[in-house]
Structure 1
Amino acid sequence: MERFDDLKKSLKDIINKNDSTPTAVEVSENRNSILSLALKPAIDMGIHVIIEENCDFSVVSITEMEFYRIISNIVNNAIKAMNGKGIIIAKAYEYLGNVIVRIENNGPRIPEQHLNDIFKVGFTTKENSDQSHGYGLSIVKDLVESHNGKIYVKSSDVVTEFKIVFPIKNFV
């Protein structure tokens, strides 16, 4: 209960932009989980992180390394967009025969005209004269879809959310 009281105080401080807030907040039973490991760079950058993991990823047909690549790619893009400030909330849970992973951040909005393009190979909003940007989210989409999953994105002035849905193996 003390951890949740600390979390409530920290969230109030974040909302009130109190400078006494610790550099990061994490709620997770397992600090070695794939979500926790993939979000560690955000914590290290001082971004506030909340993790709620209520599922077993072994029930989906994706390797831990592939899952880590998916999550870390989305998180790394969020870190760059947020300039080291803000909140990332990552939730994973089982629902109706699927594992759902939601990654939300309160960074800048993805413009409406870019939402349909962000998963295309080579698409980037960064300076790209050396052609080194624009591949991460297309790789994410390919990995998700190669395991019969789906990925969705929506963005507003308040939150950008990536939602990944993987079917549970042998769900009857």
Structure 2
Amino acid sequence: MLLKICDILTTIFQSFFFVWICNNITSKENKLPKFKAIILTIIIFTISAAFTYSCISTTYVNLMMIIFALLSIILFYRKSILDGLLGFGLANSIIVLSSYFVFLFYQSVIIELNLKISTELQMLLFVFIPAWSIYFLVYKLKKYFFNAIFALKNLRPSLIFVLLLNYTLILLDTLRVILHTVNIELMFRYSVYLITLITFIFTVIHFARISDKSKEVELLNAALNDKIIELKKLKHDYGSEISSLYGLYQLGKFDRIGQLLKSIVDSYQSLDTGININIQATPLVASVLHSAVSKGIDVIVFDSADYENLNISDNDLVKVLSNIIKNSIDALKDITNPTIKFKSYNNYDGVLINIINNGPEIPNEIIHKIFETGFSTKGNMSGDRGFGLNIVSNIINQCHGKISVESNAQWTQFTIILPYKK
């Protein structure tokens, strides 16, 4: 009886776990209201209980139970399927890992000790309570768990990739169940599962990064095609303008020739030579980055953050971004194919912004000084340089945020973390 009660409690915790994680990583407009969240929790609990106490073999029960839970999450999060699938994958991973390693410890250590207490009490003390403790630990450390999944979301994995990720997790869990039902030495089972899991994690991270890079290349190619079309139009216009100038020359209307030449020069001077790839940029971010595009710098923007309710005013946010962009523009003056990447996304307790440029490397001996008053990599003999990044640092500190910089031969990256209002 005690084990059945513990099992029911565990199923309740796990059902809540799935919905809680999915609802925390999805965007604000797609979060489930409390009533729907409760309904989904009850559905997942009912599915788990029905399959757990069914007459189907253990291996297939586990597989079918997880698939039905996944389908329920897809149904309720159909407006943000990607978030629902990522949440499912994270929750399922934590549940599977905690169950596996807790039970492994019970089998390999506790049973061998031959304690003089009942099996039910042993299971309560060394299986159920440790599993519940892991769930509670996840709740207490939720900031780090959710920030990890937000970082994965920022890599913009495709829907197919996430589906493959989840079904691979399901197959790994099915493999775990099969290994437990086969007479294989305990440590061998442990090693197989652990190696498979580690390989899987690194594979996921590797292919997520490849997916992110390939998406950037795809967008750059599309933007280059647009530029080529724009240049063809300019070539056509250029021919028409030359014909007009020649016609005015033949008619002797030299004053009109001067006016037309001035308009041609003005139009070509205002032409932006930089490529601007803009994915859902807010007006605030777009206005700050316009100065870089107007100077012929290629700008790639993935701006998915929600800047409302941050512990920083719009005016101060503009100052922070403008100064960093200005610093990047200065660094790119003598660079072939200058590029600035702007990426932002919401994490658990605020917004994370990455501003990256392909300028020269900032040497290690001075990189820690760049936020100091009056410090400039170009020297400061006149005393009017070296204040932009210091202003940035002061504003970030006042709003209790964080800023850091990393630099190598390929990229220099500024990372800004802005918290929500308390």
Deviation at 1:64, TM superposition (A): 1.0
Residue type at the aligned position of 2:381: S
Higher-helix-fraction structure = 2
- Partner-residue secondary structure (3-state), 1:67: helix
Residue type at the aligned position of 1:157: A
Q: How does 1:109-120 map to 2 (within 5 A)?
A: 109-120=361-372
Q: How does 1:1-172 map to 2 (within 5 A)?
A: 7-9=219-221, 23-30=274-281, 33-83=283-333, 85-170=337-422
- Partner-residue secondary structure (3-state), 2:418: strand
Go from structure 1 to structure 2 and tell me whether the alpha carbon gap of 1:55 and 1:46 turns closer, same or farther (over 3 Å shift).
same
- Partner-residue secondary structure (3-state), 1:57: coil
Go from structure 1 to structure 2 and tell me whether the alpha carbon gap of 1:54 and 1:117 turns closer, same or farther (over 3 Å shift).
same
Moved over 4 A (4+): 10-13
Go from structure 1 to structure 2 and tell me whether the alpha carbon gap of 1:40 and 1:12 turns closer, same or farther (over 3 Å shift).
closer
CA contact (8 A) 1:60 1:168 kept: yes
CA contact (8 A) 1:10 1:25 kept: no
CA distance in 2, matches of 1:5, 1:149: 32
Can you list the C-alpha shifts for 1:110-154, whole angstroms capped at 9, x where unaligned?
Answer: 111111100011111224222000111111000011001010000
Residue type at the aligned position of 1:41: S
Size of the aligned set, in residue pairs, is: 160
CA contact (8 A) 1:92 1:102 kept: yes
- Partner-residue secondary structure (3-state), 2:405: strand
**1:16 equivalent in structure 2:** none
Deviation at 1:92, TM superposition (A): 1.2
Go from structure 1 to structure 2 and tell me whether the alpha carbon gap of 1:78 and 1:5 turns closer, same or farther (over 3 Å shift).
closer
Which one has more relative contact order, counting CA pairs under 8 Å at least 6 apart? 1
Residue type at the aligned position of 1:58: E
CA distance in 2, matches of 1:113, 1:10: 40
Considering only aligned residues, what root-mean-square deviation do their CA atoms show, in Å?
2.5
CA contact (8 A) 2:374 2:380 kept: no
CA distance in 2, matches of 1:158, 1:169: 36
- Partner-residue secondary structure (3-state), 1:145: helix
**Greater radius of gyration (CA):** 2
CA distance in 2, matches of 1:62, 1:145: 10
CA distance in 2, matches of 1:87, 1:10: 16
- Partner-residue secondary structure (3-state), 1:121: coil
Deviation at 1:52, TM superposition (A): 1.1
CA distance in 2, matches of 1:59, 1:28: 22
Q: TM-score, normalised by structure 2?
A: 0.36
CA contact (8 A) 1:87 1:105 kept: yes
CA contact (8 A) 2:331 2:359 kept: yes
- Partner-residue secondary structure (3-state), 1:58: coil
Residue type at the aligned position of 1:44: S
